[in-house]
Amino acid sequence: MTNPETPTPAHDRADPERLDAGEIDLTGSTHQSADLADVIGDAFIQAEASGGELPEWGARAVARSLADHCEGPATALHDFAVSGDGDFEAISREAMPVYNQADTSPWVRRQIDYLLTFLLNVNKASDTAETPSTTDATETVGQTLTAQAIEGINQHGDAFRAFMELPDTDQHDPNLIDNFHEFYVGRFANMDELLDGLTEIALWTREIGMLAERLGIPGDITLDLAAVEAHARDVWDIVAYHGALYAFDK
């Protein structure tokens, strides 16, 4: 089967009689379920060989297949299949109900995982090109995320990305988003702000000052900030991400 790297036609409806042998119609006017499945399978093989991301032609084939089988309107999926231009949030809203249906097969869920990861990475690459930034943690771009992980990132942004960096976070856990809500403590601009917000460092500093004054040695007794930070890291998981710190209960 010829991979639709230059999908034809570019207009909104195809003439089935004008399709060449092996050509995929991404407009949906031609019934090609088996052919689409072959193309999607080829795209998965290429994704696994190249680091985990679908090629664009594979992502568009997945969108066409999903649009063909959605019970309700699938305008965003259809538009992406036809044009290659897709809005992540709109496509996610159409794909996630399919993903969450009890009778959805693992094969279809895998397609949604790959499609949403592709769109998320495209959107992030576009954002990075417009606003370059230095990251403080390993990016999740490049690995295939589950639809639940993508939904969490869509809802919570960098806080959820930081959560994904924790070594005991399993993106395949069906309670992934609930776990985030349970363990997420907050975002802090720096370590000083974190310690001020999560520990009693202000009280400790005041008490030490009062003790030093009472002993007649003001300024000679100070709080060991490194020890306080070490204590905080013992109590919370702290992840540096995009110039901020994110804290989670252990």
The residue out of 106, 132, 158 marking a domain boundary is 132
User: pLDDT of the chain along its 250 residues, tens only?
Assistant: 444 444 444 334 444 334 343 467 788 777 778 888 889 999 988 887 776 678 999 999 999 999 988 877 778 999 999 999 888 888 888 888 888 777 888 888 888 888 888 887 776 655 544 444 433 333 444 457 888 898 898 889 889 999 999 999 999 898 999 999 999 999 998 888 898 889 878 777 777 777 777 777 766 666 777 888 888 999 999 998 887 899 999 9
Is 177 inside any structural domain?
A: no
The residue out of 132, 163, 197 marking a domain boundary is 132
Is 124 inside any structural domain?
A: yes
The residue out of 112, 132, 152 marking a domain boundary is 132
Q: Which of 177, 176, 196, 198 minimizes the C-alpha distance to 247?
A: 198
Rounded distance, CA 193 to CA 229, Å?
11
Question: Structure pTM?
Answer: 0.53
**Residue-number span of the structural domain to which 58 is assigned:** 16-132
Is 39 inside any structural domain?
A: yes
Q: Which of 167, 171, 123 minimizes the C-alpha distance to 144?
A: 171
Is 162 inside any structural domain?
A: no
Is 35 inside any structural domain?
A: yes
Same domain? For 128 and 194 the reply is no
Is 244 inside any structural domain?
A: yes
Same domain? For 109 and 198 the reply is no
Is 34 inside any structural domain?
A: yes
Other Cβ atoms closer than 10 A to 25: 24
Give the count of domains, the chain.
Answer: 2
Is 224 inside any structural domain?
A: yes
Contact status, residue 76 vs residue 85, Cβ threshold 8 Å: no
